[in-house]
Structure 1
Amino acid sequence: MASSSSGKPPRVLACVLCQNRKIKCDRRTPCSNCIKANVACTPSTPAPARKRRRPNQDLQQRLARCEELLSEYATAKPPAPSSVGSPSQDDSWKPLGKLIVDDGGVKFIDSFLWATIHSELSAMREILEDEETVDDPCTPADSQTSDLDAGLILSDTSNTDLEELHPQPAHVFRLWQIFIERVNPLTKVIHVPTVQPLLVEAAASRAKIPKNAEALLFSIYLMATVALTEDECLERFGCTKDVVYTRFSKGCRSALMRIGILRNYDLVVLQALVLYLFSLPGHYDRHAAWILNGVTVRIAQKMGLHRDGEFLGLSPFETEMRRRIWWQIILLDAMYALMSGLGHSLLPRSWDTKPPLNLNDSDLYPTMTTIQPKDSPTDMIFRLICCELSATMVDTPDIHTVIMQNEMGVDNPEPEKIERATRRIDELDKNLMEILTKYSDPSMGPVHVLAAETGQIMIAKLRELVCPIRSQPEWGTEILTPQDNLFKLSLTAGEQNLRMYQIPQTRGFFLWFMMSHFQIEVFIYMVGQLSTRTSGQLVERAWRVVELIYQYHTELFDLSIKAHMASAIFTIRAWNVREKVLRDTACSPLETPDYIARLLSILPPEEARHTRTSEAPSATDLSVSHATPAQPSTELPWDQMLGFVDANSIDWSDIFAASAAPQPQPNYGAYSTVFGGNSINWM
């Protein structure tokens, strides 16, 4: 009746057969398709009229609220700038931010506007879902998936079979034990009682292990391998350390890639990423490692780790674990920034995450409702020392400024900055002593011994670095120029490394960790200086360092690595000079040290030829040569040879060719990047 009253012919629907087959129906009775199929043509019936929904009043109100917030944001005036010269802005008015759970991951928003909008959109989504709407037009933008993955950061391992990379069940527990003894006391980013069941399950059956836990397991295997010696690796696993490292590194990277670390965030993945970054020194380009750690900082920031869990209403257990991870990330970021020749790293402008508490893992459990630090020694001691050192570096930029001025030989260093830096180091010394007095007991294990030695060595190192050149005890005798001071800095860096190596209580546990911070660039610089520096107490100390470095770092005898080859050439060249000087002044013949004899036996003939020096350097050898624009020098100046940060980035073939001729002294201004960061080993 409605059709006839409206004057429109009734709509003819496709038959049932055509609808089911999804083919075009000619709408005849019977239709041609049914005739061909020799079946009855049954007309379809129209679907019941859809009940028109009334506008949802709650939804409209929330949309209006979003529009109101966006309008406020568009018309808001920017905050007034802080006064000139003010060290920081007053951030007390800023909201604490908000943690949100989206698409199975945790994200942090510190914008009040967007935190509120996200809440409104989430509520709107729930309204629509309650009305059984399939499509979701209100998904927040930050929860939408992306085609990006970590291929920009980690090498592509998408075709890797992870099952083949896992260790044998018997090896799982060996690696876990090594990790607990040698790695966990230094990192403390995992909770051992919580993670241990994963290891048990991994040894029994890996089928049910979540992807994020698998990445964490590979990072544990990897770090345990790093902590092994070459002989231990051969004895326990029947493979060289390099082979095992490559295997577990590939497994860790593959697991992280498959998770999609740029869009899926949780604490387990972050723990795996932090441990992976810990494994990179000596195995990976330090500049790339610093950039990768920058991604880690951003992931941690996105998860809100830069805001203390107490302010975010998190449980005591999660709050404490987030603190441990955040402070370890800060330390890693500082370490890689300094190793890359940079100063202070770019951390979030404001963060309030408190340092971790003095607690053993056994004092922590996920269901705890309150938490109190212990007043007695715990296995957190090394981390507490490192956190105090990190805080000093972050809050006192004057220290780095003074160090740079001293290295560059500034004639008039700023006395007020020197005073502030010295005062802050005194305060740091006091704080470290308080921590060690309250929480350290050498009888409780090697990590307590390491913590005490680290505190003492770092204070001594900082005091020396901020001491102006004219205040050095050798000023006027062995230190006459900034170049002389740089030589002393390279020497003391080696001596401090060796002091850490030689702690007897820690050698079987943490020597791997201390040796991983060895910087061959500084060592090569020092050895190169010994070709022209032939006498004095600093020279004698330097030669003792050279011998011990070759004793500990036996990898330097692997001359297939170009930096090791450069080290060998400069060492032999310096020894030739020293041998002639001592032969001319000594009555008895000079005995060739074992490391020199070994280097001479393995140096290729062509490279050995470059190390021969017929006579001691003359006065002209000690002068600084400069190339003029009209006639460039054909010799490679020292500031090009050794003024670098990454040994792997140097074209060593040019250096080898230039090493045959006497070399001038360096332009000391080129070395600020070498020592400005690398001389501070923040552990």
Structure 2
Amino acid sequence: MAEEFNGSREALAESSQDTSDADESEDDFGYMLDAPLKATTKSPHPPPGHILELWQIFVQNVDPLTKVVHAPLLQPQVERAAADLEALLRSLEALLFAIYSAAIMSLKDDECKKFGEPRKTLLSRYTIATKAALSRAKFMGTTNIILLQALVLHTISLRDTVDSRTLWTMSGVVMRIAEAMGLHRDGTVLGLPPFESEIRRRIWWQLKMNDARTAELSGLPKFRGFSADEQSPHAPANVNDNELYPGMSSPAIESRKVTDMIFCVLRPEFASFLTRNVVRNPQRGKDDHLWDNYGSEDDLRRKDEMLNQLEETLETKYVRYCDPSQPLQLMSMLVVRSAMNVGRFIAHHPRSWAKQEQTPESERQYVWSVSVKLLEQYNMMQSIQCFSWHAAYFLQWNSFIHILDTLLADPFNNDAEKTWQLVETAYHNTPDMVKNTRKPIHVAIGNLCLKAWNAREAAFAEQGKPVIHVPEYIAQLRKQRESAKVRQQQHRNQSSRIDASTGFRGPCQLLGDGKNEEILTDSNQPAQLVETRSPQDMTLDNTFWPMGGVENGLFGIPESTMDMDSYFMLAQHNDFERASDQFFGWT
């Protein structure tokens, strides 16, 4: 393997990992990824032509935003693998399956027709195959950088299919594996060659940012405990891939212009900003950090100054060199502009003020305009087809909630027509927001969106204006909820028949509207009144709160598959914004 990678040390410990299938033992930790403990049967690879096509899709759609592998070095290995799959070592096989999964994940449903099967089928197949390949290679104890690359790509490819808390837990496992391999220390500290040091930095920073995002989506502050010291991995170099090669004697000279790494070098800039201006604030005598000091105009000015300084740095170092006609460079420009607006949204949000009634109208209008810009920028990112898979994962839910909240409170907002068009475009470009009801955040946002739309219709009717056209996504959301009501009523009827025949009502079952309900734990015991807070009280439609005692939750999906903490967090979106606004949700 070392010869195949032209002297690269990426194949470290390959011999200890690439044993035969017959040598598998009981210490197979594949179950961590839901793979069988005995994954001895190899999964079939795609036909050779499809392998090469999936590789090219990966190089075009996924690699520019991740840079986990060194594509020029890996391409010959992919070509040889397509010609002779029987000679594959385990680590490379796991990486190939992870690449197939990531490539399919980056495509739309209609783009997968060329492979003769639906996207869902292909993604499921290659995801399962990746798990099995990782299990065979005993990934939990690996010191193999190629297996680590496979793990990172695997977690990325699961974004659409795994709930955020599971993904965050898996990310933690990968982080521990990386730390055991020393990736949390810069390669120069460990005495590693320039090429290997740079590849390790790229992997570490991708891991770090993935872990931060999954933590945020799980309800935790994104950059909690984020810190750096002199031994921490340096930011990846702003160099083209062809400037890196095994055996290079000195680090590549960083470019002052756009390179293959333009997107991936932006995120360390954000992290560096946070380290300087958020994490270290307690050392300056603050109880917490600057972003918690609500209602102080002096602190607000400091926030604006810091954001302006960061924006100037990013514009000067990167954005001014970007060509918006190039997809990667356009995406990078949008990420910078969007990240700046996220910071301004957080700094100026009216809920950050000690008393909302004291919030100046100018501030309210400013936050509204920033929120609308964020939605515009999100829609622009989604229009870059090859990278839309990434944009969807970083939709700024808190600003989206603010928009819908404002439209609910003020249906005739001056920008209402334009904003509803932006909302419609977001739903059109992100069909999972309607279809994927396994993600509670989609259901919660859908409920709030329907409330805002219903308020709009009621306001039009009250003023005697013509009935407005109902967009397709609103019709779909309504249809889903009507179907769920029917299923819930059928369940209640069935439960009532069972109760009548047994004389027993299930323990602590939430009934009716969720207010003070009578709960019977035994037919021979007196009734107990249990006060519950209904989802209706939290601005959500009670129909779509998973009912206690119901085997299937939303739309017939088992409750065990749902991220209930995230759902509860979104349900209480007033508190959610206050909590999440403490930290930046950088894209």
**Which among 87, 90, 93 is matched to residue 214 of structure 1?**
93
Q: Structure 2: where are the runs of 5+ without partners?
A: 1-11, 18-23, 282-287, 489-513, 518-527, 556-570
| Cα shift readout 1:556-611 (whole Å, capped 9, x = no counterpart) | 4438658456655554454333212212214434333343344455654563899x
User: What's the TM-score, normalizing by structure 2?
Assistant: 0.73
Distance 2:547 2:312 in 1: 42
2:233 maps to 353
**Which among 313, 317, 329 is matched to residue 431 of structure 1?**
313
Q: CA contact under 8 A between 2:61 and 2:386: conserved in structure 1? A: yes
Change (3 A) 1:317 1:239: same
Distance 2:432 2:414 in 1: 28
| Code of the aligned partner of 1:247 | R
1:285 maps to 163
Aligned residues: 505
Distance 2:61 2:14 in 1: 37
Distance 2:320 2:468 in 1: 52
Return the offset for 1:242.
0.9
Q: CA contact under 8 A between 1:478 and 1:536: conserved in structure 2? A: no
Q: Structure 1: where are the runs of 5+ without partners?
A: 1-100, 107-144, 611-624, 657-665
**Which among 360, 370, 374 is matched to residue 250 of structure 2?**
370
**Which among 50, 58, 70 is matched to residue 171 of structure 1?**
50
| Code of the aligned partner of 1:460 | N
User: What's the TM-score, normalizing by structure 1?
Assistant: 0.63
Where in structure 2 are the equivalents of 1:24-423 lying within 5 Å?
148-151=27-30, 153-160=32-39, 163-234=42-113, 236-343=114-221, 344-346=223-225, 350=229, 351-371=231-251, 372-397=253-278, 405=292, 410=294, 412-413=295-296, 415=298, 418=300, 421-423=303-305
**Identical columns (%):** 29
Distance 2:290 2:97 in 1: 39
Q: Please tell me whether residue 558 in structure 1 is matched to residue 409 in structure 2.
A: no
Distance 1:383 1:635 in 2: 44
Distance 2:341 2:396 in 1: 19
Distance 1:552 1:152 in 2: 35
Return the offset for 1:297.
1.9
Change (3 A) 1:430 1:605: closer
| Code of the aligned partner of 2:534 | L
Larger-Rg structure: 1
1:670 maps to 575
Q: CA contact under 8 A between 2:239 and 2:260: conserved in structure 1? A: yes
| Code of the aligned partner of 2:249 | T
Residue 166 of structure 1 aligns to a residue in which SS? coil
Q: CA contact under 8 A between 1:396 and 1:421: conserved in structure 2? A: no
Residue 153 of structure 2 aligns to a residue in which SS? helix
**Which among 345, 350, 368 is matched to residue 469 of structure 1?**
350
- Structure showing greater relative contact order (alpha-carbon pairs closer than 8 Å, 6 or more residues apart): 2
Residue 588 of structure 1 aligns to a residue in which SS? coil
Return the offset for 1:192.
1.0
1:547 maps to 424
Residue 153 of structure 1 aligns to a residue in which SS? helix
Return the offset for 1:369.
1.0
| Code of the aligned partner of 1:267 | I
Distance 1:334 1:460 in 2: 19
Distance 2:573 2:289 in 1: 16
| Cα shift readout 1:431-475 (whole Å, capped 9, x = no counterpart) | 2112215754445x3111111111111112202211263999xx8
1:517 maps to 394
| Code of the aligned partner of 1:268 | I
Q: CA contact under 8 A between 1:220 and 1:275: conserved in structure 2? A: yes
Q: What RMSD over aligned residues (CA atoms) do the two structures have, in Å? A: 4.4
Change (3 A) 1:569 1:209: same
Residue 232 of structure 1 aligns to a residue in which SS? helix
Return the offset for 1:190.
0.8
| Cα shift readout 1:348-392 (whole Å, capped 9, x = no counterpart) | 874421111121111111021123223442111111112212222
**Which among 630, 636, 650 is matched to residue 534 of structure 2?**
636
Residue 300 of structure 1 aligns to a residue in which SS? helix
Change (3 A) 1:605 1:188: closer
